[in-house]
Amino acid sequence: MPHLASHYAKDGFILQQLVNKDFKLRYRRSVLGVVWSVLNPLLMMIVMSFVFSYFLRGSNVENYPLYLIVGNVTFGLMNEATSTGLRSIIDAAPLLKKVRVDRWVFPIQKVLSSVVNFALSLIAVVIVMLFFRIAPTWHLAWMIPALLLLMVFCAGISLLIGALAVFFRDIIHLWSVLLTAWTYLTPIFWDLSLLTNSNAPWIVTAVVKANPMYNYIDMMRCAIVYQTSPGSTVITLAVLWAILALVIGVLVFRKTEHKFILYI
């Protein structure tokens, strides 16, 4: 039986091959190879905590370097998944013009590749925990639902913007602006208590708390940094954002995918 019988088996094998390819190409001909995925977040953390830890004296963040690196790698996962997902259909143009292949595999593959990279950067997180002698508790298990929900969220967004970028190349520019703005809106290097302590209007705090990335990062930090269970509001919002993104993404993708070939 040369051909895979089921559709899903075929798509699964294609996904595996594409993730494999991205992984190999990322590190080909680099001396340190995979080590860069670990080194990158570590170096970033060192530089950022060198400066920002002094700003944050007023807040009640303990283990600031760990707080920072968890925020950075979690946001980095979304950043990488969506900005590569954005171009995934356009970049797959030569392929889509040649063979029949389910189009959704391309944005989804970018999310999976980003998760592989995220998994490697977790080694950096472990190094930080070892360095500061922070032992994990069973709360670490919260990482799994947090990661899964974030993956669903990223998949939805990637399907949506990947499809839209085919018709309007503006989205590519718009998205990079949006990502930068999003970085500042999310408490990655600052802490929410800085807002509440300085009597910021409720609307500002509300926007930051509703921000999907705040909720995913908070879940991750609960698991790794605070070692408690995330609050119910955070969990609810994380679930809602994931479902909303996926539903919109799938709907838009399915409605537009038949026209891709005419625009790429």
Q: Return the sign of the alpha-carbon dihedral for residues 123, 44, 20, 92.
A: positive
Cβ proximity to other proteins: between 160 and 220 the closer is: 160
CA distance 76 to 183: 10
* Minimum CB distance to other proteins, residue 158 (Å): 19
Q: Does 209 interact with other proteins (rule: CB under 8 A)?
A: no
Q: Does 262 interact with other proteins (rule: CB under 8 A)?
A: yes
CA distance 47 to 39: 12
Q: How many CB atoms lie within 10 A of CB 215?
A: 28
User: Within the chain, what is the greatest distance between any pair of CA atoms?
Assistant: 68
* Minimum CB distance to other proteins, residue 1 (Å): 7
Give the C-alpha distances (Å, rounded to integers) separating 3 from 6, 13, 128, 188.
Answer: 9, 11, 47, 47
237: CB partners within 8 A, 6+ apart = 209, 210, 212, 215
Phi then psi dihedrals of residue 100, to 5 deg:
-85, 120
50: CB partners within 8 A, 6+ apart = none
Range in contact with other proteins (rule: CB under 8 A) among 80-88, 92-100, 154-162, 226-234: 92-100
CA distance 219 to 146: 6
User: Of residues 131, 132, 168, 184, which one binds other proteins by CB under 8 A?
Assistant: 168
Using CB under 8 A as the criterion, what x/- string covers residues 221-260 for binding other proteins? -------------------------------------x--
* Minimum CB distance to other proteins, residue 225 (Å): 39
CA distance 70 to 118: 11
Cβ proximity to other proteins: between 174 and 250 the closer is: 174
User: Of residues 100, 138, 199, 232, which one binds other proteins by CB under 8 A?
Assistant: 100
Cβ proximity to other proteins: between 99 and 135 the closer is: 99
Cβ proximity to other proteins: between 27 and 52 the closer is: 27
| Beta carbons of 89 and 260 less than 8 angstroms apart | yes
> Tokens standing for 137?
């508790």
72: CB partners within 8 A, 6+ apart = 41, 44, 45, 48, 188, 189
Give the DSSP letter of residue 2.
-
User: Of residues 97, 135, 202, 203, which one binds other proteins by CB under 8 A?
Assistant: 97
User: Of residues 28, 177, 199, 202, which one binds other proteins by CB under 8 A?
Assistant: 28
Q: Does 90 interact with other proteins (rule: CB under 8 A)?
A: no
User: Of residues 2, 60, 198, 202, which one binds other proteins by CB under 8 A?
Assistant: 2
Range in contact with other proteins (rule: CB under 8 A) among 17-25, 134-142, 200-208, 209-217: 17-25
* Minimum CB distance to other proteins, residue 2 (Å): 4
Interface residues with other proteins (CB under 8 A) are 1-4, 9-10, 13-14, 16-18, 21, 24-25, 28, 94-101, 168-170, 258, 261-262
